[in-house]
Amino acid sequence: MNVTIDIKTLLIAFVLIALIIMIVYTIMMIRKLLITLEHTNSILEDVEVVSSIASERSKDVDSIISNVSCSVSDLSDALKGNQGTVSAIASIVKSAASIKGMMSKDKND
């Protein structure tokens, strides 16, 4: 009993086996990619939350800094005699209230 296999048939068999292995490998790779995409989406959601919090806080800090700057300017003018003492004290109280408001927001969060 002799079995004859020509080279063309042998190469076609190798190509089909390689194709099946490649399909299985591709399916496994796509499955892992989908898991990675789920994790990436959750990370992007976390980044969005953190950036919105940072944006809020920077606006709060900016308003506080502008209030403090205005208070220091008013106090400087008062020391020079250009403004009433009552107005300077009111500006200082306003700045202190802004800082206290920011601190209470931090404790609530």
- Closest-CA residue to 36 (of 25, 47, 46, 44): 44
Q: Give the predicted TM-score (pTM) of the model.
A: 0.44
- Asked if 63 and 73 touch (Cβ cutoff 8 Å), the reply is no
- Closest-CA residue to 22 (of 14, 11, 10, 33): 14
pLDDT in tens, 62-103: 877 877 777 777 777 766 665 566 676 777 777 778 777 777
